[in-house]
Structure 1
Amino acid sequence: MRQNPARRTALLDAAIEVLAREGSRGLTLRAVDTQAGVPGGTASNYFSNRAELLRQILARTHERLTPDPAELASTMEAPPSRQLVVTLLHQLVGRMRADRSSHLAMLELRLEATRRPELQADLARTFSAILEDNIGWHLDAGLPGDRTTVVLLYLAMLGLIVDDLTVPELLSPHPFDDLLTELVARTLPPAAP
């Protein structure tokens, strides 16, 4: 297999766009080549099969959705508080809206995993690690709440993101800023600052 990292990344980014736009059934190596604007057969030189492509898409979406370390460091200069959690959730939604394709691709991967046990195992392993990292980061940062709080915020934000991506008009009557503020206020312990 080819080892040009820049080409591999470009192919994975193209695959994310195809997956987000066409769904799992539209994701073919040929469609990836077309989206990337490369000669036919290029993707097959980088990915041995569709399962390998799906695994690498999973890793690439995680890279694309990880917050910018400098921006996160700047945000974390504020003292730990409910308001800081609200700010972090706003930034999460901002990243989701800025890279809608990665989030849609992740939803497609979740659906595909219901039919592919090997992908299900990859998703479970990856998402478990991400959730554990988020829990550890939240607690280490001294943010209010405990492990269960982080899991509840994760679940609530996942639902909010799915609706915002798929049926945004559902949430349009509800002021988004107010929803995030209320989510944090109702999820975090009352004694939190």
Structure 2
Amino acid sequence: MRRNPERRGLLLDAAVEVLAREGARGLTYRAVDTEAGVPAGTASNYFPNRDDLLHQISVKIHERLMPSEESIEESLALPRDKRLVERFMHDIVARADADRASYLAMMELRLEATRRPSLRTALTKTISDNLDFNIGFHVEAGLPGDRTTVVLLYLAMSQLIVERLTLPDVLSTVDQDALVAAMVDRF
């Protein structure tokens, strides 16, 4: 039973939803089983301890948030200018809006990582690898800007998403499309 990848994926998707909705304290094996609609005890068969569950959730979130290959190919067919960078940034916002649970769960994981050294180590590696990948992609694709540009955009977009998901009224009077365009232009 532990090797059923479909069931494992179902449990991880359920765990992401529970973590986003209930926070780390509400993330229990029972809650995951209930969310997934599987018999009690199923999640504990797949994830032997909480640290493993949290780490696997992190991996699942990154899978869920990756842009599609088709989307990337379509974008790279366009001129490699600021407008393309802006398009990529808008795509990040769109994916955050489409999968709020993954972003909220990631915020919960980051908070939990402040209390769990093994999660901090794993999450630091995952996020660092992702940032390095994005820097490499940006530079190799011949997009305008350099490493610092990508890091600044990463930081700015991360906070924009936090505001949109947690306190959307803070930016309710701001044209967020124009804000993204300004970030790209200035960085």
Task: Specify if TM > 0.5.
Answer: yes
Q: Determine if the alignment matches structure 1 residue 81 to structure 2 residue 101.
A: no
C-alpha offsets along residues 89-114 of structure 1, whole Å, 9 cap, x if unaligned?
A: 11110011000000000000000000
Counterpart residue number, 1:98 = 98
Return the TM-score normalized by structure 2: 0.99
Matched to 1:80, the amino acid is R
Counterpart residue number, 2:24 = 24
The answer for unaligned runs of 5 or more in structure 2 is none
* DSSP 3-state at the match of 2:185: helix
* DSSP 3-state at the match of 1:121: helix
Q: Determine if the alignment matches structure 1 residue 136 to structure 2 residue 168.
A: no
Aligned CA RMSD, in angstroms, stands at 0.7
1:1-193 maps to which residues of 2 (within 5 A)? 2-187=2-187
Structure 1 residue 76, shift from structure 2 partner = 1.2
2:10, 2:180 → 1: CA distance? 34
Counterpart residue number, 1:191 = none
Return the TM-score normalized by structure 1: 0.96
Matched to 2:123, the amino acid is L
The answer for unaligned runs of 5 or more in structure 1 is 188-193
Provide the identity percentage.
59
Deviating runs (4+, > 2 A) in structure 1? none
C-alpha offsets along residues 120-157 of structure 1, whole Å, 9 cap, x if unaligned?
A: 00111111100000000000000000001100000000
* Corresponding pairs, count: 187
* DSSP 3-state at the match of 1:48: coil
1:167, 1:93 → 2: CA distance? 15
